[in-house]
Amino acid sequence: MQVTMTVNDVEVTREIEARLLLVHFLRDVLGLTGTHWGCDTSNCGTCVVWLDGEPVKSCTVLAAMAGGHQVRTVEGLAKGAELDPIQQGFMQCHGLQCGFCTPGMMMTARALLDRNPDPSETEIREAISGQICRCTGYATIVRSVRWAAVAEAQAAAQVTETTESSEAGEIDNAGQPAEAVA
Amino acid sequence: MTTVHERVDTFHDNDQKPVGYGRMLRKEDPRFLRGRGRYVDDVQLPGMLHLAILRSPVAHARIVSIDTSAAEASPGVKAVVTGAMLAQQNLAWMPTLSNDVQAVLATDKVRFQGQEVAFVVAEDRYAARDALELIDVEYDVLDPVIDARRALESDAPLIRDDLDGKTNNHCFDWETGDEAATEAVFARADVVVSQDLVYPRVHPAPMETCGAVADYDAVDGKLRLWSTTQAPHAHRTLYAIVAGLPEHKIQVISPDIGGGFGNKVPIYPGYVCAIVASIVTGKPVKWMEDRSENLISTGFARDYIMRGEIAATRDGRILGIRTNVLADHGAFNGTAAPVKYPAGFFGVFTGSYDIEAAYCKMTAVYTNKAPGGVAYACSFRITEAVYLVERIVDCLADELGMDPAELRLKNFIQPEQFPYTTKTGWVYDSGNYEPTMRLAMEMAGYDELRREQAEKRARDELMGIGIAFFTEAVGAGPRKDMDILGLGMADGCELRVHPTGKAVVRLSVQSQGQGHETTFAQIVAEEIGIPPSDIEVLHGDTDNTPFGLGTYGSRSTPVSGAAAALVARKVRDKARIIASGMLEVSVADLEWEKGAFHVAGDPGRSVTIQDIALRAHGAGDLPEGIEGGLEAQICYNPSNLTYPHGAYICVVDIDPGTAQVTVRRFIAVDDCGTRINPMIIEGQVHGGLTDGVGMALMEMIAFDEDGNCLGASLMDYLIPTSLEVPDWETGFTVTPSPHHPIGAKGVGESATVGSPPAIVNAVVDALKPFGVRHADMPLTPSRVWDAMRGQARPPI
């Protein structure tokens, strides 16, 4: 069957087997190997990507089900050369070791900050509780997400200061990702 | 709030450390953060085929027949291979790391559920899996041996009838210590406490499962193998032995590895199958196991049934420790342990205490379970040893009515006794235990915790405080004592400084997340003054790195880290000679500081390491007898193991209504000698502590009486998530290793070793009002519930 979806803002159309899992479509067909395959049973979360802005475990989504939808993977997290604050936070706070769970953790964490810019430690732990990390013991992941939250709050404060001394119109178009949410 | 002891300084008197260790962000992170890690399953080669393995559904059976015709006709299938076909090429069996043999594909019998029976090679992974369903195997099911206690009974079914003359399921016996001397101290002791303990079978379950991509080029006879291995060089040698390929035509590449924890030390049948498949089909072949395959067939850990006995005076002086162990090694002895240490380093079961006598007797048996016994950050069975001693010391404290911290403090080996030879013959290199213990107690607020506990007990609330103090033996190991299948446990290192003063260092060890690209750059930078950012660390490719035994048993920093420091010093020694020529002074008149040599008493006359590198590669004259270039290679043979130690305190609360254990606080004070990158050390400790919570409270690979694995998915085998663990509290002391070039001891497994007894001790402490003296792991709610009702039972 043919499937068309938008992955990291790029529309792709491919001929696939109907039973192909989204994780294998991303990895084997599109070559986006940042999304990992760890358990097949939705327990480990190394395969988390966004489907229309919501984190999903791509080992339990058929590629066909993503047809007509927006998919975002870890490869679509940075804005060009600039790392997303979540990525910076993981680096600053040693939120990764082997790196295998990291893409899924970051996708979930980014989604958390998008709906809750100032999460508590408990809220962060709950958000990532469907994902397993065997290396870090989670504390540094929690710190990484908090680092990003604080960094974004500080950046927003700076933007606000700038806004007060400039025309609002310049800011409205600045730095907003072009992704559409269906 | 840390106690920092003086570091051993192995430099020349006038040499200053140029760069300094310390927290440094990881050089390897950017690629992982962008999803550009390079794991084995990310390898895509033109024309690559996919391999899937048919596994036995039963634990013990004779294979009557295998019909592969329907599978061969399945769409996309390129080959179907059985054990009988491998046997024709003499490839059906392979050596294990313990001098046993293991079936690559079963020929005569299957001996555990999940054993490899046949494989399919097809155009994609789905087609390969489809064809597995079409292979028809007829089994004549035999009674299995599942309980290790039954393995040596006279009527137990014989598992290893493949071994000539084998008439029972005995694997090996091993003993250490002095039986008579131990009996004597037990006979005169005021108090003897005995406790049966089970350390259940658990599984490392790294997030990346095991797999390989084999690419055999028939024209030049070269095999390239990307595989999930912690020991690429050792694997290369073994492939040469197994497959009969010349070793110089084998390149093993261990790219980014998604966690190892020992699970990726052994050679698995799947790797060999992928090699065979590539040779047979003439194409690259990828094999990636799924999670269930990983849990049911690859290297497990533990599975020790132990009796611990401790003898002491009435006032709490420990006199002797004795243990008897029944070890379940599964169907094949696949343990990775040095040849002379069939039980690994279990011999350190005397712990951190100055005692008079010790004795250990062990019997290992075969059962119809998966082979292995290597893994899960175990430092060669030290995890079991530390659990044993730290649990029975707590039992003794209970018997004596002493505080468990006080009992430990009273019996520690004292600083002036190091190097200390234990009663089982190990030479602890250095240690200063009391400050470590005191720091942990101070961080925990130990006395206040005990007061809180007393108040809660008065209100029938269940709170427990558990202590564990461990000494590990890591960094295997000295050539005279240790080898794996005849390979000495040394590590090589090569350092090249390029003309512009940038450097590349090549390691024989390999990273599964430990951050070698950062730590080793720091080690070399410290010695030679080139910034870590200018040092490229290469590892995990046997064609491009010197020989060495790999990363496990916390051996990277103790062995390979020493090699890296020493090779840098070797290069610096040559640089010093070149500098003497450039500055026209004698070598003795040069002082080294922050990456430059200057003339003693005249700091203005100096040359940097970068200046020297350019001269070394340039056209100008070099001192007589000095070759051009600035590079060196060494092979480091450690003179002893290193012995990190640590004090852990765990605080748990137990819900009396549900028996759910919550780890409220965990204080970990580690002493791993010289600390290179504290950020990475903290990460290693955090990960190990989480492993400990898993083993103590959640994880167990259980089997039913037919040998069905009951932990075959992550729905059944429970691993801690962010909700089961607290925010860790860590501290450190520094007692450098006297024999290691930079005084470092290694830390990779300390927390995995030390945390389970601390947690179990805390749970047992919480359950004291119920008269509980011991309860075995995993302390799940149902098992704690039973203990609260006086019905604690072993998990197997």
Cβ B116 vs Cβ B210: under 8 Å: no
Give the pLDDT band (50/70/90) at residue A171: very low
For position A40, what pLDDT does the model report?
85
- Asked if A125's CB is within 8 angstroms of B723's CB, the reply is yes
Q: Are residues B81 and B229 in the same domain?
A: yes
Q: What would the pLDDT profile of B333-378 be if each residue is shown by its tens digit? A: 988 888 899 999 999 999 999 999 999 999 999 999 999 766 666 6
Cβ neighbours of A83 in B, within 8 Å:
33-34
Q: Model ipTM?
A: 0.96
Tell me the C-alpha to C-alpha distance, in Å, between residue B261 and each of B379, B607, B718: 10, 44, 17
Q: Which of A23, A86, A138 to mutate to test the interface with B (most CBs of B within 10 A)?
A: A138
Q: What would the pLDDT profile of B250-264 be if each residue is shown by its tens digit? A: 999 999 999 999 999
Q: Closest Cα of chain B to A54: distance in Å?
A: 19
Q: Are residues B333 and B432 in the same domain?
A: yes
For position A166, what pLDDT does the model report?
52
The answer, for A50 touching chain B at a CB cutoff of 8 Å, is no
Q: Closest Cα of chain B to A88: distance in Å?
A: 8
Q: Which residue in B568, B569, B549, B570 sits closest to B559, CA to CA?
A: B549
Q: Are residues B568 and B435 in the same domain?
A: no
For position A180, what pLDDT does the model report?
30
Q: Closest Cα of chain A to B523: distance in Å?
A: 19
- Asked if A83's CB is within 8 angstroms of B37's CB, the reply is no
Residue of A nearest to B691 (CA): A134
Partners of A96 in the β-ladder = none
Q: Closest Cα of chain A to B8: distance in Å?
A: 29
Q: Does domain A2-76 bear CATH number 3.10.20.30?
A: yes
The answer, for A9 touching chain B at a CB cutoff of 8 Å, is no
Residue of B nearest to A27 (CA): B42
- Which residues lie below 8 Å from residue B456, measured CB to CB, with a gap of 6+? B462, B463
Cβ neighbours of B124 in A, within 8 Å:
28
Question: Where a domain ends, among B587, B619, B636?
Answer: B636
Helix axes A85-92, A102-115, angle to 10 degrees: 120
Q: Which residue in B293, B325, B292 sits closest to B309, CA to CA?
A: B325
Question: Where a domain ends, among B585, B609, B636?
Answer: B636
The answer to whether residue B167 sits within a structural domain is: no
- pLDDT greater than 80 at residue A18: yes
Give the pLDDT band (50/70/90) at residue B8: very low
- pLDDT greater than 60 at residue A174: no
- The whole-angstrom separation of Cα A94 and Cα B24 is 10
Size of interface A-B (CB pairs under 8 A): 179
**Rounded mean pLDDT, A62-69:** 98
Q: Are residues B614 and B669 in the same domain?
A: no
Q: Are residues B384 and B275 in the same domain?
A: no
The answer to whether residue B778 sits within a structural domain is: yes
Q: What would the pLDDT profile of B32-45 be if each residue is shown by its tens digit? A: 999 999 999 999 99
- Asked if A94's CB is within 8 angstroms of B682's CB, the reply is yes
For chain A, the residue count is 182
**Rounded mean pLDDT, B192-206:** 97
Q: Closest Cα of chain A to B122: distance in Å?
A: 15
- Which residues lie below 8 Å from residue B553, measured CB to CB, with a gap of 6+? B378, B379, B380, B474, B475, B476, B749
Q: Are residues B411 and B553 in the same domain?
A: no
Cβ neighbours of B257 in A, within 8 Å:
98
Q: Are residues B505 and B603 in the same domain?
A: yes
Kindly report the backbone phi and psi dihedral angles of residue B282, in degrees, each rounded to the nearest multiple of 5, phi listed first. Answer: 75, 15
- Asked if B34's CB is within 8 angstroms of A33's CB, the reply is no
Rg (CA), chain B: 27
**Rounded mean pLDDT, B703-708:** 98
Question: CA B605, B606, B607: angle at the middle one, nearest 5?
Answer: 145
- Asked if B258's CB is within 8 angstroms of A99's CB, the reply is yes
Report the residue from B205, B514, B686 with minimal CB separation from A137. Answer: B686
Q: Which residue in B208, B79, B172, B86 sits closest to B132, CA to CA?
A: B79
For position A169, what pLDDT does the model report?
38
Cβ neighbours of A92 in B, within 8 Å:
25
Cβ neighbours of A44 in B, within 8 Å:
207, 291, 714
Q: Closest Cα of chain A to B307: distance in Å?
A: 31
- pLDDT greater than 50 at residue B539: yes
Question: CA B96, B99, B101: angle at the middle one, nearest 5?
Answer: 50
DSSP state, B316?
Answer: S
Q: Range with the lowest mean pLDDT among A64-68, B158-162, B369-373, B499-503?
A: B369-373
Q: Closest Cα of chain A to B418: distance in Å?
A: 33
Cβ B121 vs Cβ B51: under 8 Å: yes
- pLDDT greater than 80 at residue B690: yes
- The whole-angstrom separation of Cα B112 and Cα B144 is 9
Cis peptide before B22 (omega within 30 of 0): no
- pLDDT greater than 50 at residue A179: no
Cβ B390 vs Cβ B469: under 8 Å: yes
Q: Which of A36, A59, A98 to mutate to test the interface with B (most CBs of B within 10 A)?
A: A98
For position A162, what pLDDT does the model report?
73
Tell me the C-alpha to C-alpha distance, in Å, between residue B38 and each of A95, B212, B257, B266, B520: 19, 13, 8, 21, 20
Domain A85-166 class? mainly alpha
- pLDDT greater than 80 at residue A73: yes
Q: What would the pLDDT profile of A102-138 be if each residue is shown by its tens digit? A: 999 999 999 999 999 999 999 999 999 999 999 999 9
- pLDDT greater than 90 at residue B100: yes
Q: Closest Cα of chain B to A143: distance in Å?
A: 10
- Six-digit token pair at B617? 């590669």
Cβ B667 vs Cβ B443: under 8 Å: yes
**Rounded mean pLDDT, B385-405:** 98
The answer, for A140 touching chain B at a CB cutoff of 8 Å, is yes
3-state secondary structure of B148: helix
Q: Which residue in B725, B651, B692, B724 sits closest to B461, CA to CA?
A: B651
- The whole-angstrom separation of Cα B229 and Cα B254 is 6
Q: Which residue in B752, B775, B777 sits closest to B765, CA to CA?
A: B775
Give the pLDDT band (50/70/90) at residue A176: very low
CATH number of the domain enclosing B114: 3.90.1170.50
- Which residues lie below 8 Å from residue B175, measured CB to CB, with a gap of 6+? B359, B360, B361, B362
Report the residue from B25, B261, B686 with minimal CB separation from A91. Answer: B25
Q: What is the pTM of this model?
A: 0.95
- The whole-angstrom separation of Cα B769 and Cα B463 is 10
- Six-digit token pair at B717? 């085998």
Q: Closest Cα of chain A to B401: distance in Å?
A: 35
Q: What would the pLDDT profile of B554-577 be if each residue is shown by its tens digit? A: 999 999 999 999 999 999 999 999
- Which residues lie below 8 Å from residue B120, measured CB to CB, with a gap of 6+? B51, B52, B54, B71, B74, B77, B79, B80, B128, B131, B132, B135
Q: Closest Cα of chain A to B683: distance in Å?
A: 6
Residue of B nearest to A140 (CA): B683
The answer, for A177 touching chain B at a CB cutoff of 8 Å, is no
Report the residue from A39, A73, A121 with minimal CB separation from B291. Answer: A39
Cβ neighbours of B689 in A, within 8 Å:
137
Cβ neighbours of B41 in A, within 8 Å:
27, 33, 36-37
**Rounded mean pLDDT, A69-81:** 97
- Which residues lie below 8 Å from residue B763, measured CB to CB, with a gap of 6+? B464, B466, B652, B654, B661, B696, B775, B779, B784
Q: Are residues B234 and B315 in the same domain?
A: no
- Six-digit token pair at B491? 């590590």
Question: CA A60, A66, A68: angle at the middle one, nearest 5?
Answer: 170
Percent of chain B with pLDDT over 70: 97
Cβ B598 vs Cβ B590: under 8 Å: yes
- Asked if A33's CB is within 8 angstroms of B39's CB, the reply is yes
Cβ B364 vs Cβ B186: under 8 Å: no
Residue of B nearest to A34 (CA): B35
Report the residue from A19, A36, A73 with minimal CB separation from B126. Answer: A19
Report the residue from B44, B207, B728 with minimal CB separation from A137. Answer: B728
- pLDDT greater than 80 at residue B286: yes
- The whole-angstrom separation of Cα B552 and Cα B265 is 7
- Which residues lie below 8 Å from residue B783, measured CB to CB, with a gap of 6+? B775, B776, B792, B793, B795
The answer for A 61-90 residues in CB contact with B (under 8 A) is: 73-75, 77-78, 83, 87, 90
Give the pLDDT band (50/70/90) at residue B111: very high
For position B335, what pLDDT does the model report?
87
Q: Are residues B556 and B568 in the same domain?
A: yes
Specify the pairing of strand B136-141 against strand B61-67: antiparallel
Give the pLDDT band (50/70/90) at residue B408: very high
- Asked if A39's CB is within 8 angstroms of B713's CB, the reply is yes
Report the residue from B44, B683, B725 with minimal CB separation from A94. Answer: B683
Q: Are residues B644 and B715 in the same domain?
A: yes
Q: How much is the mean pLDDT over chain A?
A: 91
- The whole-angstrom separation of Cα B33 and Cα A84 is 10
Q: Are residues B623 and B645 in the same domain?
A: no
- Asked if B687's CB is within 8 angstroms of A44's CB, the reply is no
Question: CA B202, B266, B384: angle at the middle one, nearest 5?
Answer: 35
Cβ neighbours of B699 in A, within 8 Å:
none
Rg (CA), chain A: 17
State CA A176 to chain mean position distance.
Answer: 16
For position B372, what pLDDT does the model report?
78
- pLDDT greater than 90 at residue B183: yes
**Rounded mean pLDDT, B396-424:** 98
The answer, for A45 touching chain B at a CB cutoff of 8 Å, is no
For chain B, the residue count is 796
Cβ neighbours of A45 in B, within 8 Å:
none
Cβ neighbours of B25 in A, within 8 Å:
91-92, 94
- pLDDT greater than 60 at residue B382: yes
**Rounded mean pLDDT, B769-792:** 97
3-state secondary structure of A8: coil
- Asked if B207's CB is within 8 angstroms of A98's CB, the reply is yes
Q: Are residues B785 and B696 in the same domain?
A: yes
Q: How much is the mean pLDDT over chain B?
A: 95
- Asked if A129's CB is within 8 angstroms of B721's CB, the reply is yes
CATH number of the domain enclosing B546: 3.30.365.10
Q: Range with the lowest mean pLDDT among A62-71, A166-175, B284-293, B492-501?
A: A166-175
How many domains, in total, are found in chain B?
A: 3
Q: Do domains A2-76 and A85-166 have the same CATH topology?
A: no
What is the secondary structure of A117-130 as a DSSP string? Answer: SS--HHHHHHHTTT
For position A164, what pLDDT does the model report?
64
Q: Closest Cα of chain B to A173: distance in Å?
A: 26
The answer, for A26 touching chain B at a CB cutoff of 8 Å, is no
Report the residue from B26, B28, B259 with minimal CB separation from A100. Answer: B259
Cis peptide before B157 (omega within 30 of 0): no
- Asked if A129's CB is within 8 angstroms of B715's CB, the reply is no
- For chain A, the structural domain boundaries read 2-76, 85-166
Domain span holding position B113: 40-142+209-256+264-297
Give the pLDDT band (50/70/90) at residue B642: very high
**Rounded mean pLDDT, B765-776:** 97
